Structure 1
Amino acid sequence: MKAAVITVSDRASKGVYEDRSGPEAEAFLRERLREVEVRRALVPDEEEAIREALAQALAWGARLVLLTGGTGPASRDVTPEALAPLWRKELPGFGEAMRLASLRETPTAILSRATGGVVGEALVLLLPGNPRAIRVCLEAVWPAVPTALALLAP
């Protein structure tokens, strides 16, 4: 299976600090999927850059795309807005489960706009940018991921 991890971060994309959420998401995928080919991208918090990275992942054939970052309430957090016009179907239960699991760790998780949905034939999950939150969120929704992928199979 092909999967893509797209990190959305102004500072990491400029080299101000090292991307840690992308590698964490990739590590989770490699632990859970026997045969997976993963491509990663790192883009700034800009709607067009986010859409372009997603388009490249889908053109490559990714069936599962994880986007990390840009899901908070800050003015530069635009990942949900970038994806809004692209959803074939939004699956808000993914975001609800991620927030519920994250709230057990931190009260500020309520600020997250994490979500999931279908773009083309792919399952796309929007995750927080905090590396510690990646595993918490993916653990919370992972039981539904194989079923979603099976239902989206062409």
Structure 2
Amino acid sequence: MAANTRSLSGGSASSIGDKAKFGVVTVSDRASAGIYDDLSGPAILEFFSEAIKSEWHAVYRVIPDEKPLIEDTLKQFCDEEGCCFVVTTGGTGPAPRDVTPEATEAVCERMMPGYGEQMRAISLKHVPTAVLSRQTAGLRGKALILNLPGKPKAIRETIDEVFVSIPACIQLLEGPYIETNDSVVKAFRPAGLIRKGKPDS
């Protein structure tokens, strides 16, 4: 699946949610060099298309495993593009070129270690090498940055489960209200964060 076959926007204006902007960053030397098509970024975009009921738009980039470039891309997506949620895929293992977690930590003001713990616990149900993953998550301004695995199958195994708490996290960061399709992901929110209708209705 080529990257340009997956939509960069979706959702419905009739949703009770707000418009949201997401960032998707595939970190891969070979995909960025055109040696093979990126399948991981499109898997994330496919998840958004299936799971997000409110209107959304995504910015998407494929870059090599270079720590300064990863940092610059994350900063741009959070600070200039105004993304409330930035997802990376790739570069989270123990290989020398795997530097996505270090880049994420360098740009984040606060870390959210619970997400890394949950993602490894999910992946361990499927493969024992999940313990090698160094996935992490953190906050930059009003944005949540999350490291996902590099393989499409692992991406969907992980994000389909971990996303349950992400709309509440984004809302607590004073970001948009993201409504999900319950048949894919039923977002959990404390009672005080639940919206019953459009703010202007």
Q: CA deviation at 1:83?
A: 1.6
The equivalent residue for 2:142 is 121
Residue deviations 1:25-68, cap 9 Å, x none?
11111222121101100000001111121122121111000000
Which residue does the alignment assign to 2:43? 24
Q: TM-score, normalised by structure 1?
A: 0.96
SS at match of 2:35: coil
Tell me which residue corresponds to 2:23: 4
Q: Secondary structure at the match of 1:150?
A: helix
Cα distance, 1:140 vs. partner? 2.4
Shift of 1:130: 1.2
Q: Secondary structure of the residue that 2:122 maps to in structure 1?
A: helix
SS at match of 2:118: helix
Query: Are 1:111 and 2:132 an aligned pair?
Result: yes
* 1:76 aligned residue (84, 91, 97): 97
Q: Deviations over 1:121-141 (max 9, x none)?
A: 101101111111111111221
Counterpart residue number, 1:144? 165
The answer to whether the 8 A contact 1:97-1:140 is kept is: no
Match of 1:14 in 2: 33
| Displacement of 1:85 | 2.0
Aligned length: 154
TM-score (norm 2): 0.74
CA deviations on 1:108-151 (whole Å, 9 max, x unpaired) are 11101111111121011011111111111112211110110011
What's the secondary structure of 1:125's corresponding residue? strand
Q: Which runs of 4+ in 1 moved over 6 A?
A: none
Q: Compare the two structures and name the one with the higher helix fraction.
A: 1
Q: How far, CA to CA, are the matches of 1:136 and 1:90 in structure 2? A: 23
SS in 2 for 1:77: coil
Q: Does 1:56 align with 2:76?
A: yes
For structure 1, the 5+ residue unaligned runs are none
Query: In 2, distance between residues paired with 1:106 and 1:140?
Result: 16
Answer whether contact 1:3 1:38 (CA < 8 A) is retained.
Answer: yes
Percent sequence identity is 46
* Structure 2, unaligned runs of 5 or more: 1-19, 176-201
Given that residues 28 and 90 in structure 2 are in contact (C-alpha distance below 8 angstroms), is that contact kept between their aligned partners in structure 1?
A: yes
Note if contact 2:71-2:106 (Cα within 8 Å) is conserved in structure 1.
no
- Counterpart secondary structure, 1:15: coil
